[in-house]
Amino acid sequence: MSSALIAGCKPAAPPAMPPRPPAMVTAATAEARDVPIYLEEIGRVVPIETVSVMPQVGGKVIAAHVADGSFVKKGDLLFELDPRPFKAALASAEAALEQSKAERALAEIEFKRIQGLSSRSQASQIEYDRTRIAQDVAAAKVHSAEAAVEMAKLDLDYTTIESPISGRAAWRMVDPGNVVKPNEATMQMIRRLDPIYVEFTVPENDLAAVRRSISADAADGSASGLAVEITVPKDSARVLSAAVNATATSQPSSAISRARIGQLTFLDNVVQGGTGTVKLRATVDNADYLLWPGQFVNARLVLETKKQAVLVPAKAEQIGQVGPYVYVVSDDGKAELRPITPGQLQGDLLVVDHGVKVGERVIIAGHLSVMPGGPVNVINAAPAGATANANSAIAANPKGRDSKP
């Protein structure tokens, strides 16, 4: 009787916990595309030609023909110096030349007279030698006077200062009325902007890979032929993502036009001791002047193209105790934690060397509500390249929204 009462006093078993609802996630399908293998560095834009325009003769500046910041062509007139002193010097040199020619003519006449007398033994050897040497001296004076005339003409030409290259002029450093001295002060800087250089460095650990790519691309091993993608920093990720998508679809993209594809034209012959880096230079077309001297840009040296690489959205990658991993949606609708070996970023996409196969679906949003092996509800599947609206479905479903900051 007591045992029955005791049995009846046992507490009731707690109600069973309801099953965990499927996590609301967004997924994308892994795709295979050809992607570049590259080294990415910070580069600096450098003009191919920089000329400091300096006067080669002294004088007063009487005219300046180019406004600050103007584009000029080779041969355009920049400055004029007062030519009057040089015209007078030229006239004096020409008069001296005429005088020297007259003296030479007189010396030739005297030598011919003494030469005739000497043949009849009517002139001494000393008189013969004296007139012959006088003729030679007069001829040398003519040559010297001719050189003086050429120098005077050259000085006169230097009073009109022309642009030695085509490019953009900097600010003018002298104004009309100033007196300048030869080869002492810069009057204006001219920089050539098209084409243009981009200089950057790579660590010495990457030198072997660069040299291998150069040797494979150029038969003579010269630093030429390798492509270098140049972008301004804020556009680099968008441009590369658009380039990868355009490669896959064979369709041009307007974003790719923001990138400049140059050619590697220089590899330094020494590793810098202080930094352990090697200097490289790319030559880039710059007809629209997108790149500006002194500007910092992103430089991607493309070493090779990886065929049919597996790409997933970069936001699919997570970091845990096992290292990098992604959640793969299995055929039965469950989340499988899959360790991966990540490769290079390609804009918004990530190359996965090992861990994901083409066609598998990876979770790109809603990770916090996912449990390994737990059920998931994919509400907006998308291919790897179409991730622009990845969070739109999660935002519309607060219960499954990823609360990660």
| pLDDT mean for each 10 residues of the chain (405 residues) | 51 67 90 90 94 94 92 94 94 93 87 73 72 87 94 95 94 92 92 94 91 72 75 63 49 54 92 92 92 92 90 93 92 91 90 93 91 88 52 37 34
- 23-48+195-400 — its CATH code? 2.40.30.170
**What pLDDT sits at residue 115?**
73
**What pLDDT sits at residue 268?**
92
Please give the C-alpha separations between residue 341 and each of 67, 236, 306, 322, 356, in angstroms, as whole numbers.
58, 24, 15, 11, 9
Cα 2 vs. chain centroid, distance in angstroms?
A: 94
What is the per-residue burial (b if ≥16 Cβ within 10 Å, else e) of 18-56?
eeeebbbbbbbbbbebebbbbbbbebebbbbeebebebe
Q: Alpha-carbon distance 153 to 212, whole Å?
A: 56
Q: Alpha-carbon distance 343 to 47, whole Å?
A: 35
**What pLDDT sits at residue 387?**
47
**What six digits make up the tokens of 268?**
């330094």
Q: Alpha-carbon distance 189 to 55, whole Å?
A: 12
**What pLDDT sits at residue 118?**
65
The helix or strand, by DSSP H or E, that contains position 107, with its residue range, turns out to be helix 84-119
**What pLDDT sits at residue 389?**
42
Amino acid (one-letter) located at 210: V
Sequence-separated (6 or more) residues with CB below 8 Å from residue 293 = 45, 46, 47, 191, 193, 196
**What pLDDT sits at residue 259?**
79
**What pLDDT sits at residue 337?**
93
CATH 1.10.287 intervals, the chain: 83-157
Q: In the CATH hierarchy, which fold is given to the domain comprising 83-157?
A: Helix Hairpins (1.10.287)
Question: Under DSSP, is residue 166 helix (H, G, I), strand (E, B) or coil?
Answer: coil
Please, what CATH class does the domain formed by 55-82+159-191 belong to?
Answer: mainly beta
CATH 2.40.30.170 intervals, the chain: 23-48+195-400
CATH 2.40.50.100 intervals, the chain: 55-82+159-191
**What pLDDT sits at residue 310?**
94
Contact call for residues 385 and 349 (beta carbons, < 8 A): yes
Determine the Cα angle at 280 with ends 214 and 224, to 5°. 35
**What pLDDT sits at residue 263?**
93
